[in-house]
Structure 1
Amino acid sequence: MSSILNADLHCHSVVSDGTLTPEELAARAAANGVELWALTDHDEIGGQHRAAAAARANGMRYLTGTEISVTFAGETVHIVGLGFDPDDAAISQGLYDTRGGRGKRAQEMSEGLAKVGIHGAYEGALKFVGNPELISRTHFARFLVEQGHCRDTPEVFRKFLTEGKPGYVPHRWATLKDAVHWITAAKGLAVIAHPGRYKFTANEEYALFLEFKAHGGKAIEVVTGSHTPAEFVEYADKALEFDFAASRGSDFHSPDESHCDLGELPPLPGALTPVWELLGDRIQQ
């Protein structure tokens, strides 16, 4: 398979913080010309069998996926897993343990918002949650938009849900080593999601890439809805520098919120090794 394959290997359903079901996502991806698809819900693999069946029904090839939250150098970093066994007990348990911290964090976020006059945020956010174990800042943001506190979810994040704002509560996730190990032990491949999004210094990013590679990580997202065109070029160069394969994914969450629709990104630069070339035997036809 070539680098010009329309692969979308990063998106979210109602099983985590998206607004569409796996079946609706599959239909949308296929309608947009996606040929190889992966559903990568946050810290959750409960939608994988549904997604695989929906991909087949829509004539797409499929890779299993998830997006694992880890803490590195005081920042939350996301590691996408692709092509793993969705019935592997260890990755299921690891993700279950990671999800466990979200409920307490959500209650503390609600308490912080109440102090600035926004009451009932936890109960309000729950209305937008498909899976209560995965309540997140995105669900709070949708509630605050619904209530008229902000025009859209980016404004909510800027005013209320980032560091130093009333609804921000840090959470310690899994370690980088944990996430890569869960993925690789389940016969999958680990990818650093949207590296351009993290607020790292050049030295911190270098350390992230080195440690990720040392634990067995194999790829980074180069072409993603979270990157600018300049970052496509920057992280293509980084992939070559560190001998990483390259991944491509929209990071689609919702028709009303996402800047980039499924399947609408430009192709990977031709000099890179597409991540799907390393996963040929894991692609479901």
Structure 2
Amino acid sequence: MKYDLHSHTLCSDGVLSPAELVARAVERGVDALAITDHDTVAGLTAARQAINQQQLALRLINGVEISTRWQQLEIHIVGLNINPDCPQFLARLASQQQQRLERAEEMARRLAKSQIPDVLPAVMELANGAAITRTHFARHLVNIGKASSMNDVFKKYLGRGKTGYVPSNWVEMAEAVQWIHDAGGVAVLAHPLKYKLTTKWVKRLAEQFAAAGGDAMEIISPQQTPVQKRELWALCQLHGLTASVGSDFHQQTSWNDLGKNLYLTDDVTPVWHNWALN
């Protein structure tokens, strides 16, 4: 089976609807897909309805990606097989959404001081009720010609230390792991090489994530090398974590797509090794 356990819809900062995402997953040969929108489970019902209505050969994993705080850094934790109807979990995600709104308001205020007015209404329109992320801000700034690309936006305006950057006040990483467990799920450290940490700090992150009760770590994404995969799997073995795979799909690009390059060798213990759908 081909698994992709990290993907996004327009319920957060992806560009496809839940129905479009599951259809694309089937086109790409994915057998099991986790939808892991940022701090929301809003897309899961529509995705499951689309699978049932279209009789798609796809197993949907209930997921979420929680933004957390660790050592003054923003670290993302994916929750897999969570109960999306758990009232306590939904209330906790709502607190994250409130943090997102407050952060967006401050980002817009700072950009206005730099002669970029009326950003928040435009961003809210782009988000259309979805979880607001910096990606929405980046898309808007590209749309109005303030930058040539999404990467350019982060270099000029939204990256750490830039005009529109606002430090996050997310839940602590260890607490988010507990949230996921309380909702019946498995906690996965997302894309550990994307945080631009030194090798020493990646090792420290993996160690403290495991100490907090974390269950697995993403060791494969479309752009990771075999050497990087082996190094991350060694960290998993050291700290008793299983391995997860995920494209972190937001939209199709030349370097990323659902299910792309997501393979594990036989010496690796996958996060799904004891799941009933295996």
Q: TM-score range by the shorter chain?
A: over 0.9
SS at match of 1:23: helix
Task: Give the aligned partner of residue 127 of structure 1.
Answer: 125
Residue 162 (structure 1) aligned with residue 159 (structure 2): yes
Are 1:46 and 2:42 counterparts?
yes
Q: What do the CA deviations read for 1:70-116 (whole angstroms, capped 9, x no partner)?
A: 00000000000001111112211111111111112111111222222
1:219–1:245 Cα contact (<8 Å) kept: yes
Decide which of 219, 231, 238 is 1:234's aligned counterpart. 231
- Contact 1:16–1:130 (CA<8 Å) still a contact in 2? no
- What is the Cα deviation at residue 228 of structure 1? 4.7
Corresponding residue for residue 104 of structure 2: 106
Please state whether the residue corresponding to 1:67 is helix, strand or coil: strand
- Paired residues of 1:197 and 1:226 also in contact (CA < 8 A): no
Q: CA deviation at 1:65?
A: 0.4
Aligned residue number for residue 21 of structure 1: 17
2:210 pairs with 1:213: yes
Of residues 130, 137, 140 in structure 2, which corresponds to 1:140?
137
Q: Percent same amino acid at aligned positions?
A: 39
Match for 2:31 among 16, 30, 35? 35
**Structure 2 residue 235 is matched with structure 1 residue 222:** no
Corresponding position of 1:190? 187
Letter in 1 for 2:265: P
Q: Kindly state the Cα deviation for residue 33 of structure 1 after the two structures are TM-superposed.
A: 0.3
CA distance, structure 1, for counterparts of residue 34 and residue 237 of structure 2:
24
CA 1:176/1:258 → structure 2, altered by over 3 Å: closer, same or farther? farther
Q: Residues 194 and 227 of structure 1 are in contact (CA less than 8 Å); yes or no, is this contact kept in structure 2?
A: no
Distance between the aligned counterparts of 2:121 and 2:225, measured in 1? 36
In structure 2, what is the Cα distance between the partners aligned to 1:87 and 1:121? 34
Q: Give the aligned residue type for 1:195.
A: P
Instruction: Give the secondary structure class of the aligned counterpart of 1:220.
Output: strand
For the 8 Å contact 1:14–1:21, the answer to whether it is kept is: yes
Q: Which residue of 2 aligns with 1:70?
A: 68
Q: Distance in 2 between matches of 1:177 and 1:233?
A: 26
Deviates more, 1:200-209 or 1:91-100: 200-209
- On the 8 A contact 2:18/2:47 being kept in 1, the answer is yes
Aligned residue number for residue 81 of structure 2: 83
Query: How far, CA to CA, are the matches of 1:205 and 1:160 in structure 2?
Result: 27
Counterpart secondary structure, 2:126: coil
For structure 1, which runs of at least 5 residues remain unmatched after alignment? none
Q: Is 1:263 aligned to 2:259, yes or no?
A: yes
TM-score after normalising by structure 1: 0.90
The separation in 1 between residues aligned to 2:227 and 2:140, in whole angstroms, is: 34
203 and 275 in structure 1: CA distance in 2 versus 1, 3 angstrom threshold: same
1:59/1:152 CA distance change after superposition, 3 Å:
same
TM-aligned CA deviation for residue 230 of structure 1: 4.1
TM-score by length of 2: 0.92
In structure 2, runs of 5+ residues without a counterpart are none
- 1:109-161 deviation line (CA, Å, top 9, x unaligned): 112222222222112212210325x2111000000111112222111111110
Instruction: Give the Cα separation in 2 of the matches to 1:45 and 1:225.
Output: 24
C-alpha RMSD over aligned residues: 1.9
Moved over 4 A (4+): none
